[in-house]
Each structure stands twice: as structure tokens, then as C-alpha cells.
């Protein structure tokens, strides 16, 4: 139970609470306009202060982080398990809390400062202690379970913050994770929250399997997506290629002067080509010369005379003598030309033979170089082969990893299906065995909703292959206001269920946000129900509401006095100047 909220600054008005029904009003001032927000008067800030002292993290934008509230110390006086405690927390040093009270039964004892006479705990430890004192959570629960109920999440169902927190009975934060919703609601409803934790672990395993499958298609083979059989075929092909490359590299002989030898062989080839061309030309000239010798013949004088006679001409003796001289001159010319051709033919034959010898010599030299090149290879070529081998081995490694990942995925997927089915059966059996607990929660929710709307609502609790599934319905729920009343009925049910337990928070706090859009008659009925239940069951209900939103005319005659007597004042934080 919360006894009071106070501060070390005199400008802060202490708010004291009592058992049962408590009201904090936000009044308009004479200078406020219709557009002024009464949240600035402190009713919402009051809830923030309570959370702050109960170990909440100061979020960005929180009023408690404002410059005007630097170095303010807020104090929360409360009763836990029959013992009174005071909690001090400073806005400029929020990492610890100072405490007053009897800590003899605490699982973790506060550190004592002998000079100042104070006791303190780090905030993260303080949360664990509160979890133990209010909800009987083991201090080492988070060492045993990855997903377990947390004090901060549990207490947020008994003191919701922000407008979004009043939209869904099972969520107190818009970014609340599904496992957090299942685990903490199951705990508060008296169900086996461990099953919800196990369901989340299976979801984690499923996500890991999906990552394995994704990994099986990444790497050097990006874009290659195949079945296990296709990957095996690719593995066999790569192993065969790697074997051939290794054999080729093992027999690879590198000559240190391979490049120079190859260059020299190419030069010899070019030289052989040049000499061969000369040889061919020489042979052509030789052939022409030999034909010329064969065609070089003397012209007989008788032939000349016969030609002339046929033309009707006769040679004189004197002319015949001159023809003989010409004939001898011509024969001498022919003889000289034949001698010249024979000399040229001899030269060409010798040149041709020289060309042939030179070609043979060069060809033999080149053959020796080719033999070296044939039995040895270049270092650059060796490097290329080696790089190709490394690349193929890397690809093979990727393929093998892909095969292993796919096998793990397929095996894990089958195993996961079995585990999920077994967990589903166990959770469903456990839910059946807790039938009394479930029916108690359902009946309580139904009674609450029926009190407001004259007909019962519906709280359903089911087990699916994804875990617990919670749902509430009120048949007449067609407006935002009735949606808010679902939250009211659910929250009230939670405190009703835990009212008789030793480890109970002992209080339920609602900001006026829960009544936004709600018909005044239902607002009045909700307040009367909360007051009646708080009195009968011994818990504390705190309602922070705007003064002009109070449905006085809808209150029953008896409750008007109860409401008036339950007003604990208003809260307003004045900025220091």
C-alpha cells in the first residue's frame, strides 16, 4: 500500500493515501483556459513519481528529467508485507535509491553508509528486491530463465502510464514484446508462465533455423539457391575439379628463365621465317635462270636467207660476209649470257644451300628451346592455376557449409515441430489442470463487466502453437469508451485475484485517461465498483481524475459521501525560481 508521496522541496505538496478508495483531483485555476492541460497540474506526474521511486528508467521527454526538477529528491512511503518503508530517489542521481525500514527478511540487504546513516541499493537491484517483495519473484530467476516475469513489467499493469497503455488490457507499452505480454499476464493470472517462456525459446530456435537457411544461400555462391540434392551435385563437381587442379599443379615444372627462353624461341621463329622467304625467292630466280639458258639459241644464217628469198630478195656475197660477222657477234653475246647465267645459277645454288643449312641450324636451336618449354611452364601460369585452386576450394567450403546448414535446418525444423507439439500438449494439459484458476479469473472479469453494463463480458484464455492467447470482449463494445472499460475490468480483476496473497502490490492506480470517452454513468459505476472491492478485499485503489470530469450526478446517494471523503487533494509542482 502507498502511504504518501513527498519531496525534499517545500513547493511540492505532499499527497497522503489511505486504504481503500483514494481520489486525486486536478482542478482548473482561475487563469487556465479551456485548452489548458490538467496533466500539468500533477495528476499524471504523480504516477510518474511513484514509478520513479519504484525503479523506472527516466525516459527521454519525462517531466522528471526537466531542467526545473534537477536535483529533486522524491520520497515514496509504502507498506510491503506489513512493514513500512521509505524510498528516496534523486532526479540528478537516479542510479540508486536510499531506503529506510526493516530489511531483515530481504534477499539482498542495502549497503549502509555509516557516516550519513543511510542505506542504499542500486536501482537494478532495487527492482529485483521489489519483485521478491511484491510478486514473490526469485532473485536469481533471470539466471535460470531467459524469459521471465519482471517487476517493472508486472507493476505496470497496476499503474499504467500514457494514453496508449489504456488501449489493450494485456499491454502496458506500445513496444511491449509478445513474450513479455504472455509471460507476465500468465504470471498474474496464476498460470504457468514457464510455458510461455518455453514457447518464446522455440520461436528463437525457429529464427535461428531461418538464419541457417539464409546462410546456406550466401557467400561465394550468392544468388545460388538450391535443394540439398543440387548442393550435393555442386559439391561433387567442385571436388572433381579441385582434384584435377591439384594433380596439374603437382606435375607442374617451373623454369626460372621460362620467359627469356620463350622470347628467344619466338625470335628464332621470326628469323627462320625471314630466311625461308629468302630461300623461296632464290629458288624462283634459279628456276627462271635455268629456263633462260634453255631458251638462249643461235639463229642460223640459212634461216635468214630463206626468209628473204621468200620475200623476193637475194643476198650478195658481200652482204653474206657481213651477215657472218653479225652471226659470230650474236653467238658471242649468247655465249657470254650463258656464262653469266651459269655463274648466277652457281651462286644461287650455293646461297640456297646456305639458306637451308641456316634454317636447319636455327630450327634445331629452336627445337631445343621448345623442348624446354614443353617440359616446363611459366611461373605466372602456375600462379593462375594456384589461384583457381584456392577459389574452387573456397567455393567448396561454402557449399559444404550450405549443405551442413540446410541439413541442420531440415533436421532442426522437424525437431522443432515435435518440440512445439509436445509443449502445446503439456501447456494445454496444464491449463486444463488449472481450470479452477482460469474460471476464477473469467468469473471475476465477467462480474466486473456485468456491474458496468448489466451483462457479462468475456475473458478467454487459450493455448495455441505460439503460446498463450488472451482476449477480452464486452458485447456492447462499439466505442472507445467501452474499450477503455475492458482495461478497467481486467486491471480490477488482477488486483482482486491477488488481494488475498501475501506478495501483492496492494494498490491499483488509474489515471483519468481510462475514462476518456466513457459514458458518465459507466464512469460512476466503475468508481463505485472499485471503491466497494477495495474496501471488501483490503486493497488500495487510487484514481487521478480531472475535477470537471467527475460524474457527481450519476453517483448513488451513499457513494457521494464516500467520494468526497476519499479526496486526497491535488498535486501541483511549482517551478523554483
CATH fold, domain 256-375, is Helix Hairpins (1.10.287)
**Separation between Cα atoms, residue 335 and residue 191, nearest integer Å:** 135
**Separation between Cα atoms, residue 479 and residue 518, nearest integer Å:** 8
**Separation between Cα atoms, residue 460 and residue 463, nearest integer Å:** 10
Q: Assign 87 to helix, strand or coil.
A: strand
pLDDT tens digits for range 44-77: 789 999 999 999 999 888 899 999 999 999 999 9
pLDDT tens digits for range 494-526: 999 998 877 679 999 999 899 999 999 999 999
Angle formed at CA 105 by CA 101 and CA 108, multiple of 5 degrees: 85
Sign of CA dihedral 348, 354, 358, 360: positive
**Separation between Cα atoms, residue 438 and residue 185, nearest integer Å:** 12
22 and 542 Cβ atoms separated by less than 8 Å: yes
Domain locations along the chain: 256-375
Percent of the chain scoring above 70 in pLDDT: 81
456 and 446 Cβ atoms separated by less than 8 Å: yes
**Separation between Cα atoms, residue 306 and residue 94, nearest integer Å:** 146
Percent of the chain scoring above 90 in pLDDT: 49
In this prediction, residue 491 has a pLDDT band, given cuts at 50, 70 and 90, of: very high
pLDDT tens digits for range 270-318: 888 888 888 888 888 888 878 887 776 655 656 655 655 666 566 566 6
Lookup: cell for 272: 627462320
Cell 456492447, located at residue: 476
Lookup: cell for 127: 527492482
Cα-Cα-Cα-Cα dihedral of 28, 31, 34, 35, to 10°?
A: -110
- Kindly report the number of other CB atoms within 10 A of residue 362's CB atom: 19
**pLDDT greater at residue 197 or residue 222:** 197
In this prediction, residue 575 has a pLDDT band, given cuts at 50, 70 and 90, of: very low
Query: Given a cut of 70, is residue 251 above it in pLDDT?
Result: no
Q: In the chain, what's the furthest Cα-to-Cα distance?
A: 184
Cell 502507498, located at residue: 2
239 and 397 Cβ atoms separated by less than 8 Å: no
User: What average pLDDT does this structure show over 162-177?
Assistant: 93
pLDDT tens digits for range 371-402: 655 655 555 666 776 677 788 888 888 888 87
Among the listed residues 534, 560, 490, the one whose alpha carbon sits nearest the alpha carbon of residue 2: 534
Q: Does the reported pTM lie above 0.85?
A: no
Q: What is the pLDDT of residue 152?
A: 97
pLDDT tens digits for range 318-373: 666 666 666 676 677 777 777 787 888 888 888 888 888 888 888 877 776 666 55
Amino acid at each position: 500500500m502507498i502511504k504518501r508521496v513527498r519531496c525534499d522541496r517545500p513547493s511540492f505538496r505532499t499527497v497522503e493515501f489511505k486504504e481503500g478508495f483514494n481520489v486525486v483531483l486536478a482542478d482548473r485555476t482561475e487563469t487556465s483556459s479551456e485548452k489548458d492541460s490538467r496533466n500539468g497540474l500533477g495528476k499524471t506526474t504523480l504516477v510518474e513519481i511513484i514509478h520513479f521511486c519504484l525503479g523506472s528508467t527516466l525516459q527521454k521527454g519525462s517531466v522528471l528529467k526537466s531542467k526545473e526538477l534537477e536535483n529533486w529528491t522524491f520520497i515514496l512511503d509504502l507498506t510491503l508485507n506489513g512493514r513500512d518503508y521509505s524510498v528516496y530517489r534523486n532526479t540528478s542521481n537516479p542510479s540508486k535509491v536510499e531506503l529506510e525500514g526493516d530489511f531483515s527478511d530481504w534477499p539482498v540487504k542495502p549497503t549502509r553508509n555509516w557516516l550519513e546513516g543511510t542505506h542504499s541499493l542500486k536501482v537494478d537491484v532495487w527492482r529485483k528486491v521489489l519483485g521478491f517483495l511484491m510478486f514473490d519473484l526469485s532473485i536469481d530467476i533471470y539466471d535460470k530463465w531467459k524469459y521471465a516475469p519482471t517487476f517493472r513489467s508486472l507493476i505496470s499493469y497496476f499503474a499504467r502510464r500514457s494514453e496508449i497503455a489504456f488501449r489493450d488490457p494485456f499491454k502496458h507499452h506500445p513496444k511491449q514484446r509478445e513474450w513479455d505480454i504472455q509471460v507476465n499476464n500468465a504470471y498474474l493470472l496464476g498460470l504457468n508462465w514457464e510455458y510461455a517462456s518455453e514457447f518464446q525459446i522455440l520461436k528463437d530456435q525457429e529464427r535461428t533455423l531461418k538464419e541457417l537457411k539464409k546462410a546456406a544461400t550466401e557467400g561465394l555462391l550468392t544468388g545460388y539457391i538450391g535443394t540439398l540434392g543440387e548442393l550435393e551435385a555442386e559439391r561433387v563437381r567442385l571436388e572433381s575439379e579441385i582434384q584435377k587442379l591439384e594433380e596439374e599443379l603437382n606435375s607442374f615444372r617451373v623454369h626460372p628463365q621460362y620467359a627469356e627462353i620463350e622470347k628467344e624461341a619466338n625470335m628464332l621463329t621470326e628469323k627462320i621465317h625471314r630466311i625461308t622467304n629468302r630461300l623461296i625467292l632464290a629458288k624462283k630466280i634459279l628456276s627462271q635462270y635455268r629456263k633462260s639458258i634453255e631458251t638462249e639459241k643461235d639463229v642460223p644464217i640459212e634461216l635468214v636467207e630463206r626468209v628473204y628469198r621468200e620475200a623476193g630478195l637475194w643476198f650478195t656475197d658481200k652482204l653474206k660476209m657481213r651477215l657472218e660477222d653479225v652471226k659470230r657477234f650474236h653467238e658471242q653475246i649468247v655465249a657470254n649470257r650463258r656464262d653469266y647465267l651459269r655463274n648466277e645459277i652457281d651462286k644461287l645454288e650455293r646461297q640456297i644451300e646456305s639458306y637451308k643449312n641456316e634454317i636447319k641450324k636455327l630450327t634445331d636451336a629452336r627445337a631445343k628451346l621448345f623442348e624446354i618449354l614443353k617440359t616446363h611452364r611459366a611461373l605466372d601460369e602456375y600462379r593462375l592455376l594456384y589461384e583457381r585452386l584456392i577459389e574452387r576450394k573456397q567455393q567448396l567450403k561454402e557449399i559444404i557449409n550450405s549443405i551442413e546448414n540446410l541439413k541442420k535446418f531440415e533436421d532442426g525444423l522437424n525437431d522443432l515441430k515435435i518440440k512445439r507439439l509436445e509443449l502445446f500438449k503439456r501447456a494445454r494439459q496444464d491449463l486444463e489442470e488449472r481450470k479452477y484458476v482460469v474460471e476464477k479469473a473469467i468469473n471475476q472479469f465477467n462480474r466486473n463487466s456485468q456491474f458496468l453494463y448489466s451483462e457479462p463480458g468475456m475473458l478467454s484464455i487459450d493455448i495455441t502453437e505460439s503460446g498463450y492467447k488472451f482476449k477480452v470482449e464486452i458485447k456492447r463494445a462499439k466505442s472507445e469508451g467501452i474499450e477503455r472499460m475492458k482495461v478497467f475490468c481486467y486491471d480490477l480483476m488482477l488486483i482482486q485475484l491477488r488481494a488475498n496473497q501475501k506478495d501483492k502490490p496492494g494498490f491499483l492506480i488509474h489515471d483519468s485517461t481510462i475514462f476518456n470517452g466513457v459514458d458518465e454513468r459507466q464512469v460512476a459505476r466503475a468508481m463505485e465498483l472499485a471503491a466497494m472491492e477495495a474496501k471488501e478485499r483490503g486493497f488500495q485503489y487510487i484514481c487521478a481524475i480531472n475535477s470537471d470530469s467527475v460524474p457527481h450526478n450519476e453517483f448513488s446517494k451513499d457513494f457521494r459521501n464516500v467520494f468526497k471523503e476519499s479526496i486526497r487533494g491535488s498535486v501541483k509542482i511549482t517551478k523554483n525560481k
